[in-house]
Amino acid sequence: MTTTNETSLRADKRRGLHACWHGLRMLAATAVVGLALAGCTGEQFQKGYILPPGALEQIPIGASQDQVLIVMGTPSTVATLDGEVFYYISQRSERPVAFMNQRVVDQRVIAIYFDKNRRVRRLANYGLQDGKIFDFISRTTPTSGQEMSYLAPLFKLLSFN
């Protein structure tokens, strides 16, 4: 009977080792799946112009067009309305998990208005607030007219996602 007991003990040890390895494999598989899912966490996307910190504060009313180009760089687009206007367009979006659709978090149009002498007449930082175009510098909503006819298509163009 001693050989039977020894054989039984060896079989029990093998079963115990097999169960231990099975548990470790399951733990490793769970860790791999967890790491793969952690790689699928949220992403942020920036499209268009990235406003340097403090850039608008470096452009006083009356600054030259050349000063604006040095501080802000090349505009996204230029328009002429009672002088020239530089538009710097940007959009920030995010998605909580990879493979999901992006959601627009912020979209901005920075407008720098120049007079006939190519000097800064006015600055505006347009964004959407409550679904309406809003100037975050003057804290006003632009009224209809030539200015709105330029801004509305820009925001429609940005929100194509």
85-103 confidence digits (pLDDT tens): 999 988 888 888 777 888 8
Query: Distances from the Cα of 33 to the Cαs of 23, 38, 114, 121, in angstroms?
Result: 15, 9, 57, 57
Cβ atoms of 54 and 66 closer than 8 Å: no
Residue range 12-53, pLDDT digits in tens = 556 655 555 666 677 666 656 555 555 556 788 888 888 888
Both tokens of residue 154? 């820009």
In sequence order, the 6+-apart residues with CB closer than 8 A to the CB of 67 are: 59
In the 8-state DSSP scheme, what is residue 47?
A: E
In sequence order, the 6+-apart residues with CB closer than 8 A to the CB of 114 are: 65, 83, 84, 85, 86, 120, 121
pTM above 0.85, yes or no: no
